[in-house]
Amino acid sequence: MIDKEFTKEEDKICRLMAWICCHADEDCPSEYRTKHFRTALDEAVDYLEKSGWYDYNKMRSDER
C-alpha cells in the first residue's frame, strides 16, 4: 500500500471511477466486452489498487 493522502478532488474522481468499474463489471458480462473496454476497466482497477485508494477508502471514517 502506498501511504498517500488523497485530496477531495482525487478522492471524488477515484470514488466515481471505482463505482463505474464495479457497475460495469456487474452489468456487462465479460464475454460481451470489447477488447478496449476490458483493457480500460483493467487499467482503472490497477490504478485504484496501485495508488492505494482502495485501502484509503477502507480505512477512513465515513465522512463523505
Query: Tens of pLDDT along 9-24?
Result: 999 999 999 999 999 9
pTM for this model (two decimals): 0.80
Question: Three cell numbers at 4?
Answer: 498517500
| Structure confidence by residue, pLDDT tens digits, 26-43 | 899 888 999 999 999 999
Residues 6 or more apart whose Cβ sits within 8 Å of residue 17 = 44, 47, 48
Helix 35-51 × helix 8-27 angle, to 10°: 140
pLDDT 10s digits, 41-64? 999 999 999 999 999 998 876 655
Is residue 25 within 8 Å of residue 41, measured between CB atoms?
Answer: yes
